[in-house]
Amino acid sequence: MLELGSSKPWPEAMEVLTGVRRMSADALIEYFQPLYDWLVVENKRIGAHVGWETTYKCVSK
């Protein structure tokens, strides 16, 4: 299979191995869903801000 990966584009090699050409993150999303749900509730409980705040300052010199 390593030889196939060096001679063919990765979607073709993946199709040979898995039967599908496209990757999906569905399994990872399903696995981490309980953690995500807990984090949403916990962040609301403690008033945590998630993400970045918009700023219009130029920080490059």
Q: Which tens digits make up the pLDDT trace of 9-60?
A: 888 888 888 898 888 899 999 999 999 999 999 999 999 988 888 777 776 6
Query: What pLDDT sits at residue 34?
Result: 98
Give domain limits for the chain. 10-44
User: pTM for the complete prediction?
Assistant: 0.56
- Amino acid identity for residue 33 in this structure: Q
Query: What pLDDT sits at residue 43?
Result: 96
CA distances from 27 to 10, 17, 33, 52, 60 (A): 20, 18, 10, 28, 40
Residues whose CB falls within 8 Å of the CB of residue 20, separated by 6 or more in sequence, listed in order = 14
